[in-house]
Structure 1
């Protein structure tokens, strides 16, 4: 029986039944995701009711938007041809494709949630663009033939259900007058227009529990909302202050005896050091998704990082360092620009991101060569365009048929003879490190120091790596990937130590972000904690920096240890300076955090501000009943100033 009335004029019977199926499917997804994160979400009865009630609201809007092509077709298709062969072919094809998209979304929601603990967001938009890497990653992480077969079976089952409801029969038998088509068209399109114009996805984020926010959302609606809001205007969405006042607060926090500001318009300043400058080679290993909690130094008892733990005792070790974001491009932004995360996408992913004053600019001023190494295709996430546009040479495993290959600086492809293993994201870390050593041998003969930025990939789903290297089977999970990464770095340092250039080379080992940054709250600060160590720096072979600090502070601190005098446009500061105020700047795509002492302020869209009290070990957060406005001015100052200076071009060289 058809769920809806069977009047002969009901040409829209198929649309109504399709929308009902869509609502039912969304309910099932929400229910299963709730069970999946039940313990972490910690929802009470009222919150569960709110999730499903508000979720239904978003589902109705999404179903209306999804039905737009169908209602336009049914409105305009001539009545005399209804039920014809052409009509049936077009309708069956359209319904099949629409249901297949729903089936794909159904499965994709669970795989995406498994990785990011959220509905579709900016990351999903990026993944749609970079289909080659993503499809291969899915193929290697999941049984793709089985998934496709399941999606087709699910699609055919839903078509069969529509047939059993007699939706097709009624739709093809209808002979409606125009007014009878216009009424449902106006109703559905009206709802769709209202949602497009007046219902932002952030309406689901009016509660503090992040899991409740994400469960309330509709995945498809969230995807298109993220696509539309790839960059957020700070002034439009966040609490603002007078620009000059905010700039003044930031400049005041940077004022030191050895610092002289160049002008009154921005943060450009000259940092003076009276010591004798050291000019070692610098190699930075940026480890994919490497949480501090993986290391024994930070409480892990699985012994999966034996080499890095041993290296930590022979290095300058940052014990209280926090990432600025949750994605690789956000880590790259922090490590190259030393800037807080501006709302929206990372600057690495934006268009106007060339000619910036980067950490590489400081190395250039000291006559260093600069090279970016990546084991995958640097076209992904706009990495090659960003690094080449800021003066780096490129060494990657890229294909030559994609945009980004004709770059203003030199690009070298890692040769086949160095590649022994690869997965969806690129070659294994051992092969990447071998390419770095090969290049370093060449660089060391050019009689100028070199700065190499390495981005690893092995510690990423599908967690596959060469067999026989460690005692955990390839593809078995994160622990194995972490241990293999540790193994690859040990081999790299071992091989490098045999080179003539090793003695005069400093290694910076740091994570781009944590393995998982999702939590009950908008920003779970404990899941931003990353390790960083500076190894092989003369006279600093066992030093711990315990101050609370940010990813953006690493290079200003290194430059101090090297006694460099240099021009800075960085928000990052020398942690070892006595005047340094311990603080961290964690962020997501929308939330902008500021941590100082045992407090964390969070700025979020719709000009919202809230604070959290943090436990002494940074493992627990509790939202304050009333926001602590004492930290609001600096919270605003960092992010508003960073946004303003970037948009005005003040961070250019």
Structure 2
């Protein structure tokens, strides 16, 4: 009886470690419940289901974590148990593992604070771009305090294990072979089940997105996203006949000014404008980081943090009802440059084989424009330089080197230190990147070149730091301060640009890349995709506020129509100002794909699921409706054809 008991005591440390992990995971789940008190479903059955599904995924997670230790416990001979090497090895790795898990729990809290979700593909990206992320954490949070707190908590956990005699029992107790094999078998069986038969999507059981997210285990979600950050549409989503899909889309893209030049499968066409005299304005395109429509007074904000943009809304072509396609900067870049609905998984900006695509740069280059991309950070981040450099842009960023790779011969110009007045984790402040663009534009004008200059801003991003003394909100204190500085920098930019010889012949396009927050209780939080967009400095007679429902992908086709251009198009976007424009918007995450028309939204999900909802703009809620087959097929057609064209290299 004693031998049997001591055989199990060898595993007492693993038992206590597992119980600690499950307990802290439960505590974290309860914290998130309280955090989202007004948004989660507190129905007793929903609450219990959230907790129990969470426990299920936590068990799977801890099985992966303890598996190396179980292997060690299985193979080490009894005569080595309790030796100095055994004690050092176990104490070192238990301390290290607890410390790392405490940091992960801290990271989950900060990640939830930023994105209102458990770890997902964004966290995977952050693992790749460690410089920006570590610097951002250092500037946003008291890192020494976090690390010190993690060490203290880890020490207390280890002390608790010691007082429970977990170490003592583990070092003095032999283990029978039958018990070793039994514990190894149970652990291995659990791993096989979670690897082969359990999908992270199974945690998404609730119509309330917050309940589903809280059900997940952060670590398990991270590795699930790592495995599935690229998703083939045909494998994960409902599809229809390919020719039928292209027929639907081509019909939506047709018109009196459109002549299709490609056979199925293709949307290639010639856009011909006979009503206008072609104009050759310079174009400065500004993609503003995290610019939610809700920040502007124009949409009801009373904080007066965008006074300049609100003034521009009165003297521009202002799009009141335009929606971002996604929740990341790279989604915004994909939408505006390729004029394409979001494909599932990673943005095309981050995918392999994304060079030599037909982008808006091809249209500009056909009109003899120089194309340049300006970014205040290192364009290596999110694969921006490879994408823009591989698609015809000259690069200006804070990175190093002049050539991107052997395959991409685009010149990469480094923004020098003497051109920088302020810099944080994500790059130089907006004023500095605007000043760099002004310098380059002066050179382009001097050389007689027409230019298309694409600027990506960075200041409206955590840690929300910017040059002191510019606005009345101290740097680094709030998102509102970052937004107000972003607006201030735009005002300063226009003040400087208006004095340039090239100003009167230059059109400025300003649009948000995505909203500051996209999280909500529903599968897709529609209101948090609403962004502002405006076209500035065209003849005053064109100025208007346009209320048509439209998408980021429409901004350049609309501009090209305003300029009266004939051009070849592989774009899914259309001229919003045309009388024939059919209102719709594309909204998505990396796994959910939505099409909105009027106040209805069809959402396609992986696992080949789909649903249709009525969107109540007043309270931003979604009410499920009976499926509309025609609407569903149209939604499928847009996304299926977009994915097909890219994956089959037909956007080249």
- Secondary structure of residue in 1 paired with 2:614: strand
- The whole-number CA distance in structure 1 between the counterparts of 2:336 and 2:546 is 18
Given that 2:325 and 2:586 are in contact with CA atoms closer than 8 Å, whether structure 1 keeps it comes out as yes
Counterpart position of 1:621: 621
Cα deviations by residue, 1:567-603 (Å, 9 ceiling, x for unpaired):
0001111112222110000000111000011110000
C-alpha distance after superposition, 1:17-53 (max 9, x if no partner): 2111110110011011111111122432221111101
Question: Following the alignment from structure 2 to structure 1, what is the Cα–Cα distance between the partners of residues 95 and 199?
Answer: 29
| Total equivalences in the alignment | 647
1:144-194: CA deviations, max 9, x gaps?
A: 000000111111111112212222112111222322211101111211111
> Secondary structure at the residue paired with 1:519?
coil
Contact 1:348 1:383 in 2 (8 A): yes
Contact 2:386-2:404 within 8 A present in 1 as well? no
Shift of the alpha carbon at 1:400? 4.7
Distance 1:455 1:108 in 2: 27
Kept in 1, the 8 Å contact 2:64–2:191? The answer is yes
**Cα deviation per residue 1:59-91 (whole Å; 9 max; x = unaligned)?**
111111111111111112232211111111111
- Confirm or deny: 8 A CA contact 2:40 2:210 kept in the other structure: yes
Asked whether the 8 Å contact 1:405–1:411 carries over to 2, the reply is no
Report what 2:250 is aligned to: 251
Q: Secondary structure at the match of 1:575?
A: coil
How far, CA to CA, are the matches of 1:299 and 1:584 in structure 2?
A: 22
Partner of 1:132: 131
- Corresponding residue for residue 272 of structure 2: 272
> For residues 205 and 627 of structure 1, what CA distance do their matches in structure 2 show?
21
Q: Is the 8 A contact 1:526 1:619 kept in 2?
A: no
Secondary structure of 1:286's counterpart equals: strand
Which position in structure 2 is the counterpart of 1:59?
A: 58
Query: What displacement does 1:623 show?
Result: 2.4
TM-score, length-scaled by structure 2: 0.97
Question: How has the CA–CA distance of structure 1 residues 286 and 91 changed in structure 2, closer, same or farther, with 3 Å as cutoff?
Answer: same
Deviation of 1:371 after TM superposition, in Å, equals 0.6
Counterpart in 2 of 1:640? Answer: 640
Match of 1:90 in 2: 89
Task: Please give the alpha-carbon distance, in whole angstroms, between the structure 1 residues aligned to 2:523 and 2:406.
Answer: 38
CA contact (8 A) 1:8 1:173 kept: no
Equivalent residue, structure 2, for 1:201: 200
Q: What CA deviation, in whole Å up to 9, does each residue of 1:253-279 have, x standing for no partner?
A: 001111111122210000001122111
Once structures 1 and 2 are overlaid, which stretch shifts more, 75-84 or 500-509?
Answer: 75-84
Alignment map for 1:112-511 (pairs within 5 Å): 112-265=111-264, 266-274=266-274, 275-400=276-401, 407-511=408-512
Instruction: Write out per-residue CA displacement over residues 320-369 of structure 1, whole angstroms, 9 at most, x where no aligned residue.
Output: 00000001000000011010001101011111111100011111111111
Q: Which residue of 2 aligns with 1:28?
A: 27
Give the unaligned 5+ runs of structure 2.
Answer: none
2:322 and 2:533 in contact (8 A); partners too: yes
Query: TM-score, normalized by length of structure 1?
Result: 0.97
Q: State the SS of the aligned residue for 1:631.
A: helix
Distance 2:12 2:250 in 1: 64
Backbone CA RMSD of aligned residues: 1.5
- 1:612-635 Cα offsets, whole Å, 9 max, x none, are 1023x4652332253333310111
Partner of 2:631: 631
- Match runs of 1:518-597 below 5 Å: 518-540=519-541, 542-597=543-598
Matches of 2:236 and 2:42 in 1, distance apart?
A: 28
How far apart in 1 are the matches of 2:239 and 2:192?
31
CA distance in 2, matches of 1:623, 1:65: 39
Unmatched segments (≥5 aa) in structure 1: none
Give the superposition deviation at 1:438: 0.7
How many angstroms apart in 2 are the aligned matches of 1:105 and 1:606? 29
Given the superposition, is the C-alpha separation of residues 79 and 540 from structure 1 closer, same or farther in structure 2, using an over 3 Å criterion? Answer: farther
After TM superposition, give the deviation of residue 233 of structure 1 in Å: 1.6
Tell me the SS of whatever aligns to 2:39: helix
Could you tell me whether the CA contact under 8 Å between 1:326 and 1:517 is conserved in 2? yes
Task: Indicate how the Cα distance of structure 1 residues 268 and 96 shifts in structure 2: closer, same or farther if over 3 A, else same.
Answer: same
Are the aligned partners of 1:82 and 1:172 in contact in 2 as well (CA < 8 Å)? yes
For 2:64 and 2:482, locate their aligned partners in 1 and report how far apart those are by CA, in whole Å.
42
Secondary structure, counterpart of 1:319 in structure 2 = strand
Say which SS state the counterpart of residue 576 (structure 1) adopts. Answer: coil
2:401, 2:412 within 8 Å by CA — same for their partners in 1?
no
In 1: Cα distance, 2:597 partner to 2:630 partner:
11
Give the secondary structure class of the aligned counterpart of 1:146: helix
Partner residue of 1:651?
A: 651
